[in-house]
């Protein structure tokens, strides 16, 4: 049978039988795959080293007639070992994996693989704050799902002003002017950045982000819960 090769990130691993595992992996070209890794729990298994959690791998597999394919070989591309050195970063990494798994169908576009790969990169960098990564990842999930809020005009249809304060109206998914509003120009600019297609490493360098990220996070989390139900 014809073997196929792809890059992969492990989303879930479930022990099966005496020595096997069922894997759910995310790939950039064929979406999500369910794979059986036969004998992978044996001490001398050649598959084990290439299917670590919190890593990217290159895998070869034989497509199954049903929903489960067979893993033939695996090679570790990059292991993000700094993540597990910090409990907060480790917990967030697993949280992001579960979030992405819940919001994606069997054949998500390649952008979801790229999103998780970027998340691992910034989680592996101890200089990037956990608050930023959580807010950015949620904003990107919303963007990829087509739920970017209106960040250019107010709920009344007027262009947002740098001199005006705003609150966020969740019914219209837009800012609405309030004299004592929660959001000013700096906060709105930062929310725009979080929803932009710029890479996480670039946005993380924005001055003042350590304060702005936790400030803007509740807005993005509420939008995620409303639109993605997670």
Rounded CA-CA distance 42/60 in Å is 19
Asked if residue 165 has pLDDT above 90, the reply is: yes
All CATH 2.40.50.140 domain ranges of the chain, comma separated, are 4-79
Q: How confident is the model at residue 164 (pLDDT cuts 50, 70, 90)?
A: very high
Mean pLDDT of the chain: 95
Nearest Cα to Cα of residue 163 among 143, 184, 149, 133: 184
For residue 140, what are its two tokens? Answer: 């990107």
Q: Return the axis-axis angle of helices 87-103 and 130-144, rounded to nearest 10°.
A: 10
pLDDT digits (tens, 9 = 90+) for 176-201: 999 999 999 999 999 999 999 999 99
Which architecture does CATH list for 83-228?
Up-down Bundle (1.20)
All CATH 1.20.1440.120 domain ranges of the chain, comma separated, are 83-228
Q: Does the structural domain 4-79 have CATH classification 2.40.50.140?
A: yes
pLDDT digits (tens, 9 = 90+) for 7-33: 999 999 999 999 999 999 999 999 999
């Amino acid at each position: 049978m014809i073997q196929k090769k792809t890059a992969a990130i492990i989303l879930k691993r479930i022990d099966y039988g005496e020595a096997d595992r069922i894997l759910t992996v995310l790939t950039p070209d064929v979406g999500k795959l369910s794979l059986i890794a036969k004998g992978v729990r044996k001490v001398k298994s050649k598959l084990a080293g290439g299917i670590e959690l919190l890593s990217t791998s290159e895998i070869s597999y034989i497509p199954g007639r049903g929903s489960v394919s067979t893993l033939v070989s695996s090679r570790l591309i990059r292991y993000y070992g700094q993540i597990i050195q910090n409990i907060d970063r480790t917990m967030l990494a697993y949280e992001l994996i579960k979030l992405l798994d819940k919001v994606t169908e069997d054949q998500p576009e390649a952008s979801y693989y790229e999103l998780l790969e970027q998340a691992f990169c910034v989680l592996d960098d101890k200089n990037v704050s956990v608050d930023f990564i959580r807010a950015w990842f949620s904003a990107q999930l919303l963007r990829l799902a087509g739920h970017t809020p209106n960040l250019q005009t107010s709920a009344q249809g007027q262009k947002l002003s740098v001199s005006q304060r705003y609150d966020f109206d969740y019914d219209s998914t837009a800012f609405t002017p309030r004299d004592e509003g929660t959001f000013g120009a700096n906060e709105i600019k930062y929310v725009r950045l979080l929803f932009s297609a710029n890479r996480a490493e670039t946005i993380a360098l924005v001055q003042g982000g350590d304060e702005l990220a936790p400030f803007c996070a509740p807005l993005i989390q509420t939008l995620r819960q409303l639109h993605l139900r997670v």
